[in-house]
């Protein structure tokens, strides 16, 4: 969806938080649609949005249900979870369900706005709606959240898929681990450099299944990684 101001859907049953966000996000030049339960959130996302703010403890279900439904349908609209569930296991559960970021309550409004802006910078609207990308024998479809190589369907987790999409949009350029974290994970993950190596290793394993395109994600020693046709 494209509007003058980024359009945000808020799915939150706490009226106090909703009132605060309506005012704060208007001041930050966002337009907002507020939904008080999962059912109304489902209806609202059908009309499209630039970003979704999602509570988990909703009166008619777990907000992660909506996040999973979006990702299974190939909808790449960014989702930021807002919840009182601050345990590490809950954070992992949210990110594995496809959330782009996770913020626990109580939160500071300036931090939320900064994270929203970071997510939108990371995945511009024009790119979110460019569904199919190809590069040599590799293809990726953001609408269906599927990817393949030489007739093989790849089975990618969210971060692996996001990494491949980023490389396909930016081939033949070397990226440092920190740059990849900032572009794919977000700047708040800048201390988790090891996550890049782990996800690159898993993505390489998938891409090398066919045997016809070995090491297309190349290690650039002293720098990081790049997607290349060179062997």
Q: In 3-state terms, what secondary structure has residue 47?
A: coil
| 218 token code pair | 């190349």
Q: What are the CA-CA distances from residue 227 to residues 32, 82, 136, 138 (Å)?
A: 38, 35, 11, 11
Q: Are 172 and 228 in contact (CB under 8 A)?
A: yes
Q: What are the two backbone dihedrals, phi and then psi, of residue 93, each rounded to the nearest 5 degrees? A: -60, -40
User: Where does the pLDDT of residue 3 fall: very low under 50, low under 70, confident under 90, or very high at 90 and above?
Assistant: very low
pLDDT tens track for 50-65: 899 999 989 998 999 9
Domains, the chain, with CATH or none: 7-127 (3.40.50.2300), 130-227 (1.10.10.10)
Q: What is the DSSP code (8-state) at residue 220?
A: E
pLDDT tens track for 83-134: 888 788 888 888 888 888 999 888 899 999 999 998 888 765 544 444 677 8
């Amino acid at each position: 969806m494209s509007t003058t101001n980024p359009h945000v859907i808020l799915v939150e049953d706490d009226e106090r938080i909703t009132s605060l966000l309506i005012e704060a996000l208007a001041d930050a030049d966002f337009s907002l649609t507020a939904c008080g339960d999962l059912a109304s959130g489902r209806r609202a996302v059908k009309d499209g949005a630039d970003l979704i703010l999602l509570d988990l403890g909703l009166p008619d279900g777990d907000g992660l249900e909506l996040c999973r439904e979006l990702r299974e349908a190939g909808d790449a609209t960014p989702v930021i979870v807002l919840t009182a569930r601050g345990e590490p296991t809950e954070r992992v559960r949210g990110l594995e369900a496809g959330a782009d970021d996770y913020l626990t309550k109580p939160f500071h409004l300036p931090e939320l706005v900064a994270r929203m802006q970071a997510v939108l910078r990371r995945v511009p609207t024009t790119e979110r709606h460019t569904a199919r990308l190809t590069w040599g024998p590799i293809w990726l479809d953001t609408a269906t959240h599927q990817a393949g190589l030489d007739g093989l369907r790849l089975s990618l987790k969210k971060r692996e898929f996001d990494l491949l999409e980023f490389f396909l949009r930016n081939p033949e350029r070397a990226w440092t681990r920190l740059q990849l974290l900032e572009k794919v994970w977000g700047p708040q993950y800048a201390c988790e450099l090891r996550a890049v190596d782990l996800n690159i290793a898993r993505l390489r394993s998938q891409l090398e299944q066919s045997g016809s395109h070995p090491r297309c994600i190349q290690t650039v020693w002293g720098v990081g990684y790049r997607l290349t046709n060179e062997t």
